[in-house]
Amino acid sequence: MSSPVITRFAPSPTGFLHIGGARTALFNWAFARHTGGKMLLRIEDTDRERSTEAAISAILDGLKWLGLSWDGEAVSQFARADRHREVANDLLKRGRAYYCYCSPEELEAMRARAEAEKRPVRYDGTWRDRAAGDAPAGVKPVIRFKAPQEGETVINDHAQGRVVIPNKDLDDLIILRSDGNPTYNLSVVVDDHDMGVTHIIRGVDHLTNAARQTQIYLAMGWDVPDMTHVPLIHGPDGAKLSKRHGALGVEAYRAMGYLPAALRNYLARLGWSHGDDEIFSTAQLVEWFGLEAIGKSPARFDFAKLENLNGHYIRATPDEVVLKEFLAFLPHVAGGPEMLAALEGGRMAAFTRALPGLKERAKTLVELQTSAAFLFASRPLPLDDKAKGLLNDEGRAALRGVVPVLEGLAEWIAPAMEAAVKAHAEAAGLKLGKLAQPLRAALTGSATSPGIFDVLEVLGREEALARIKDHSA
């Protein structure tokens, strides 16, 4: 019986959870859920100068917002340094590591010679086979891994295929610094082994590390996990992803008004596919996800596609779920706390009535916030430039003509108002737009809004008529 699948997401807390890291977490999570396994979380906080508690909190918050839960407690890599040192000393005893006493000056000279001779810069093995008695007094050594010098290291990668790296191209890397601190490649191997990780899913930029780490696994007599190195994410122009393309922290996507479910869907399609399916639920992602469907080519991040997908999700998501997401979104954006206070202060019913119409036009929660602003505006309503243009002499005259019609309605409901206004327009020889557009401007301060009769209904008789009269004089 095969062992259960255990994946891990291992971010470095030197910054926020960026979009590439979020996709890596999603793939690890989806594969673990697909197989009935576990996804573990390890914070690789060994860079003490750059690792911050704020970044750790941002990573955890980003994962929670995305809906990517992990199993068990998050593990601190730094807290396991004693265990890493233990393995470094074990490798010494096995004859698979050695002390190196090279000074910084000697290493610099080694580098200069290699560059002058146009050779790759690598450690030349000066202390690889030296006797212990040659050690200079008073020098704290590093510990280097004694890498095999002949043959090749093979990585059978689910995304990249069979990757063969000649061992002559890999030098003896430092696994323990002179101050006793372990290095990245050693720490990762020890942690993944001790945590029982069976499948490593990470960016293709770790492929060279995979060869070095494989050698350490084999030197310790440990099983090498299955590996999948996911292609990088590029911008829509094919260039390396930058901030202008979308290389932002996950918290920025929250503030831009994307739904977590939409972002999960979009990220899943960056480097993974299920036939021609573009829109699918998270449950379908878990059901379908497999490592064999991860491609080799870089994926292209496209804000326009993400925005369109997010608009689909807003329209297709039940009103109560959108409302919940919207309320959670408001504290994170400009003007949001004030709108949240207004909602909690008595405007919730009006907003809830308006939401079905607002959803139809919004691609993001930011657009939903903007289009809902008319509900919270104080009289006299400020007008944007297009609205001012609609409320010219002709527009104000149209408003004056429709006020008695609306005042005479027995029921303040959208169908009744629509029928009465259409009848008035026909009797006055006006096209409906000549009435509806000035009405929209007066009621919302904008030339765009949900259906104008829905706007009238959600504002209520008193507020709607007052706004119309403000701009019909």
Spatial distance between the Cα atoms of 157 and 160, rounded to a whole number of angstroms: 5
Angle at 36 between CA 225 and CA 286, to 5 degrees: 100
Report the interhelical angle of 393-407 vs 414-428 (nearest 10°): 130
Residue 376 corresponds to which tokens in the numbers above?
A: 């919270």
- Of 230, 243, 367, 363, nearest to 301 by C-alpha is 243
- Of 439, 450, 449, nearest to 391 by C-alpha is 439
Q: What is the DSSP code (8-state) at residue 345?
A: I
- Exposure of 383 in the CB half-sphere (CA atoms within 13 A): 20
Tokens 């010494």 locate to: 92
Spatial distance between the Cα atoms of 153 and 338, rounded to a whole number of angstroms: 59
Task: Evaluate whether 235 touches 246 at the Cβ level (below 8 Å).
Answer: yes
CB-count exposure of residue 297 (10 Å: 0-12, 13-18, 19+): exposed
Spatial distance between the Cα atoms of 81 and 50, rounded to a whole number of angstroms: 17
**Beta strand 199-203 pairing with 226-230:** parallel
What residues does 163 pair with on adjacent strands? 155
Active-site pick, 93, 168, 243, 359? 243
What residues does 226 pair with on adjacent strands? 199
Chain-centre distance for alpha carbon 146: 39
Residue 243 annotated as catalytic: yes
| Active centre residues (catalytic) | 243
